[in-house]
Structure 1
């Protein structure tokens, strides 16, 4: 047996690709291509094939200017174009719905932008009294005496026209309204202390004959004065002439029988002189009812008129004998 060299190897021939190998290669390239396209598309910049071929990176993307569109009168305005420092919006807001053209109506009244202050009333309440309106029956009498500083209101801004008047309060009103000389000596009343707020007024109206006290030197300053006493005090202090026909004058009142006998002459004189004012019925005196602050104002003002110190006031509540 002889040793012999093996024959030269023959070059191997590669069999052509089979169908399965072709499918595998196609799938591999498809997966790689899909991954590549997905990674480029997730940046939101689109698929720029030119950028893939040009390896030089672009320094910065210059935003494309959005052309300015002037809105027509019937269209809403488009949003402003983005500046280089602002990101480009991915969506453009829809324009607002067009507003209808409004034709102005001639002489149309428009609400003011700010509230207009209420005008100041032409007829003000006397001294701002909240409880005395301009249509109150004694308004003109109260107003006139307030202006003369004969009467005043209370700290809460009220006048309290229907409140009764005490003898001390009435004495204070008479002192301010009339300046008459003393006709008699001063009386030291047992129930009026020296430091009482109305002591001086009580002393003065007692000396000049407006108000007198009761027996045993009693004045009763806190007693509510009746209407008949208020009229008698004025008739006495002003020394009104006595009526020549008192009975006939008093027949004006439907309740004349209720007038005390001591007061008939003075009430007749006061009525004839125009001092009597009675609300709501001028022919009903109600002599024994308490005089209110409004009653006192009306009586005193009419006494000023009778003395020639005030102008007449027209009132439907003046008693006409």
Structure 2
């Protein structure tokens, strides 16, 4: 009888599970248990579990990071600043509220208090303090005064002559002289008045019997009469070549500007040493001229010399003062200008 090897026995179905299979089953049960636990304990929560599961398969080397939905950032609180710790009733509850019950739920707009920045308002410039002239505008220009050969720098009436000559109100002679001490006749005075106060043409006709039709000063004479500065004589004469006295210059200026004396004429005229020489018809006019600073006396301010022939320099100075009174010229300082008492 031949000895034969017994056949191999089949594997038993009750073999013990391996270690890996046991760990896998344990993890599966724990995962299911945790899901059931959170489901039962947070029935009323708004937690979304889909955020815990990656929508696409990942490799075992990359960990699954759960996405925390709608969680506001935890602000950084400076030391010494006490933020509001009361959660807003409208904030959504998440599982982090359970893990961190003391989390400060401060709205972003209230977590920080930005320091106030100083506001800067550019200064505004009033159009009344200073006026800017645009390039298209041109300021009025005044030409320099005429350099008369016979008016020295230290002459008492130099400033009056310079101001009026620079504005074309007075002129000199062809030899570049002014002749400041030369007397002025009535026709010449009418021409100065026309240039200084009203340059409009007065016409080429006159009713004065002593003025020929082609007389050079007819327009100026007519204009001076129309504006109330001068008058003719009762015999229908004008006497254009007559030298005009100082008192008539003052009377003409006061009449043309329609000035009135404001106080007692006698009190005003008491400043003059020769007040008794003033004609009676001119007392009020000369007093008004004195109150309005139209009188210019040189060399002695207290001597009026009313009946003395007026020189070209004196007429220029008095006309200047009349223009100052009208506001057309700026006043200047001169010891020759008389100030009323």
TM superposition score category, shorter chain reference: 0.5 to 0.7
- Out of 234, 241, 253, the residue aligned to residue 222 of structure 1 is 241
Q: 1:144 aligns with which of 157, 160, 163?
A: 163
Partners of 1:187 and 1:212 in 2: CA distance: 12
* Match in the other structure for 2:183: 164
1:300 is displaced (CA, Å) by 0.2
Which stretches of structure 1, 4 residues or more, deviate above 4 A after TM superposition?
none
Counterpart position of 1:292: 311
Q: State yes or no: 1:127 paired with 2:137.
A: no
Q: How much has 1:204 moved relative to structure 2?
A: 0.8
- Does residue 178 in structure 1 map to residue 178 in structure 2? no
Q: Is the 2:198–2:223 Cα contact (8 Å) retained in structure 1?
A: no
Q: C-alpha separation between the residues in 1 aligned to 2:264 and 2:324? A: 22
In structure 2, the partner of 1:268 is 287
Q: 1:207, CA displacement in angstroms?
A: 1.4
Contact conserved, 1:243 with 1:265, CA < 8 A, in 2?
A: no
Distance 2:306 2:168 in 1: 27
Give the 5 Å matches for 1:1-321: 126-179=145-198, 188-321=207-340
Given that residues 211 and 233 in structure 1 are in contact (C-alpha distance below 8 angstroms), is that contact kept between their aligned partners in structure 2?
yes
Q: How many angstroms apart in 2 are the aligned matches of 1:298 and 1:283?
A: 16
Deviation at 1:181, TM superposition (A): 9.5
User: 2:267 is paired with a residue of what secondary structure?
Assistant: helix
Cα deviation for residue 127 of structure 1 reads 1.5
Q: In 2 relative to 1, CA 199–187 (structure 1 residues): closer, same or farther, beyond 3 Å?
A: closer
Structure-2 separation of matches of 1:284 and 1:126 = 30
Once the two structures are TM-superposed, the CA of residue 126 in structure 1 deviates from its matched residue by: 4.5
In 1, Cα distance between equivalents of 2:179 and 2:224: 24
Equivalent residues of 1:235, 1:269 under 8 A apart:
yes
RMSD, matched Cα: 1.8
Distance across 2 between alignment mates of 1:284 and 1:174: 25
Q: Are the aligned partners of 2:260 and 2:285 in contact in 1 as well (CA < 8 Å)?
A: no
| Structure 2: distance between partners of 1:200 and 1:189 | 13
In 2, Cα distance between equivalents of 1:299 and 1:262: 20
SS in 1 for 2:219: helix
Structure 1 counterpart SS, 2:310: coil
Gaps spanning 5+ residues in structure 2: where?
1-143
User: Residue 165 of structure 2: SS of its match in structure 1?
Assistant: helix
- Report if aligned partners of 1:142, 1:297 keep a CA contact under 8 Å in 2: yes
Report the CA distance shift for 1:193/1:206 in structure 2 as closer, same or farther (over 3 A): same
Q: SS of the residue aligned with 2:146?
A: helix
